[in-house]
Structure 1
Amino acid sequence: MISFLLLAILLSPALASKVEQVHLSLSGDMTEMVVTWITKEPLPNVTPFVVYGVSNDALRWTGKANTTSWKSDGKEGTERYTHRATMQNLVPGDVYYYQVGSSLAMSDTFRFSQPDPSKPLRAAIFGDLSVFKGQPTIDQLISATQKNQFDIIIHIGDLAYNLHDDDGNVGDAYMNAVQPFAAHVPYMVFAGNHEVKSRFHHIVNRFTMPRNGVYDDNLFWSFDYGLVHFIAINSEYYAEEMTIEAEAQYRWLEQELKKSKATWKIVMFHRPWYCSTKSEKGCHADADKLSRKGVLGFPGLEDLLNKHKVDLILYGHKHTYERMWPIYNKKFFKSEDPGHIKNAPAPVYMLTGGAGCHSHEDPADEIPQDFSIKCLGEYGYTLLKVHNATHLYTDFVDTSVLEGKLLDPFFLEKN
């Protein structure tokens, strides 16, 4: 009798359609917020949706969701169902409450503040994070989110180690672990080398990033946030020898930079061009360097970024933190104060790949390059604050303690 009861419970529609892995993202329209979630079972004859409003007990508005069914690339071929809905007509700066699900099962109620581009921007940026070594960083991000310290969180490749492992169950566990911050703050992601399996299968199907008008598959994107134009590039097109996609991305990037009127331009990709390693040459892996200068069929990106006066370039892949002088074509530009650079003649580079990787790197074992200013081996993330049209601030947050310790205060100033 007990076994039959348990079976009935396990097969009940509410449990089968349980809402998981809720996370927010930006669409590029500052009056919208996208919400994405997963169920492990289909929702036959029902429509998934989001309900939202300005108070917890008045979720007056509804947005229907689109559903994508997809199978994992593991041996089991587990099928998952990704649901995507957009909350519209939002007022920047206002607080909203929401639930997602269907008539079979609903999520908890979450809340978020709609980003207000008229106020200073606060962001957490990092690469290379898993639950296995990254739980202290996840805990700190959750704590900071609860205190309303972020407007956006950006993950620059290598998620979960790996989203596809164990038939996708590792990805499920990771996305549920980050839900306490990702369901309250836009969580923006793009691919690193650990997302390339089966042509980026999991990052394409699990997330909803701004459309680029080329492939619209989460692999490269951009959005404006007040004074800042953020651009995410897929460096894995180069490492995976995908020439058609690399050239299409380059054409898109060129147009993005040409048309942008933003005061600050910030570009992010996964594989580093400049950094200190155990080699006297620093970062010199062919797969990493290819996107910098390029070869036939693979257009180089460095000249383009420098030409259009990109201010800041961030990447991960190497499992540490390093801040560098402005650099162009291997030439670096020193100034009087390494903690406060004014009118940089080239992009400032930051490596921020130590959020919580499996194989951490210790800068004490590396050979510092001449262009290096600060190397840190603690787990953590980069804090970005854009104060106004003249001052941008970054710091490194050590997540070994819950409150976080600030280890590398830096100002970038321009007239």
Structure 2
Amino acid sequence: MSEFPMTVLPPLQNNQNRSNFGRGRWQSGYNNRGPPLLPRPGPYSQRQNYGFGSKFSHGNGRESEHFVSEMKLTKSEETLSRKIIQFQEPSEIACYSRIEGGVVYFDDRSLRLFKRTVCEDVGADLNKGFESFVEKRDLGSQGFGDLLACIRNKNIPLQNIHFVTFRNNLNKILATAYIRNEPWKMGVHKRRGVVYLDVHKLPERPQSQLDSRRCYWGYAFENVATENSTVTDIDGKGIDANVEFCSVIKTKLGAHRIIMGAEMDCCDSTDDGRRFYVELKTSRELDYRTEERYEREKLLKFWIQSFLAGVPYIVIGFRDDAGILVRTERLRTKDITQRVKMKNYWQGGVCLAFADEVLCWLYGTVKENEDYVLQFVPPFHRLELLRAESCPDIIAEHAEQI
């Protein structure tokens, strides 16, 4: 058993307060921060009953010398909605921080504290600091290696664990139940009974100056919505997108036990000091033309990301086309599915049922000490499992050390 202290994500009723780890910024400054914007989190939200009626499309076969197997997306949402998939309450078992320069520490020093008075920052210019922004580097498999190193450092046992992954890979799988026009790939490597899902970043189209600026607005809102963040006009330092805090979480989806790394934006605490995480998002201000797409697609992604890691709250900064913050909104993760349920846009239970089928197919297909690529690409009719040439060194070395 790991000696790593366990925090509550989110806190359960009548749960005893546990000691927190690390020395992150969140641990100080609770007093004199103003009234809490976020009320005390309640019990972990349970899934609702789900139902929907449209059909999935059917896949077209494509020949490849590397082709291993496929999963055709033929089941209707109505069929998937009848499956009751158990999802275990996520629990945090470790964490790590990346600081300026890329050095990684197995503590929470990079975790930021949510600013409860963020609603007073309406009118803030999210363009501020754009010229000194340090963009996120593509770490490739090295980023996955940091997660694996944290698992080893904290002596987290992998017996009976089926998947080790970043949350982003699970986000992609769950969202594919509804979003059928966004391609993705991930590495699949089975070692000692554990399937490691590595990150594969697809080539991106060249970004325009406006695209880069819109991406920056998201980081700028995170800066506005957290305490003790970089102040670009005082110390001259820009926002560094490579500084991050990652929670390591254990959960179970259907029959599959999962350990995943999940980057967290910030945290807050209850009156008795128990910590919970807060997801920060930005969106263009809504109007009658954009509200439906926002609820169909963005809220789906927001819900998946927060639900999988047990994050109870999402704070959204709405901005105009010039990058000015016009309002903020707080959402309870458990309330999002009810908001869209009456409109029949999507159902959370369908996403879980779809993911369960994918994980069952994947785990039952891949073989020990073999390497694959799982992809979802045009014409978006099936998931394809292809044989890969090799295994990343960081995964092979990790498997030898555990």
Question: TM-score, normalization: structure 1?
Answer: 0.25
Of structures 1 and 2, the one scoring higher in RCO (CA 8 A, sep 6+) is 2
Question: TM-score, normalization: structure 2?
Answer: 0.26
Query: Greater share of strand residues, 1 or 2?
Result: 1
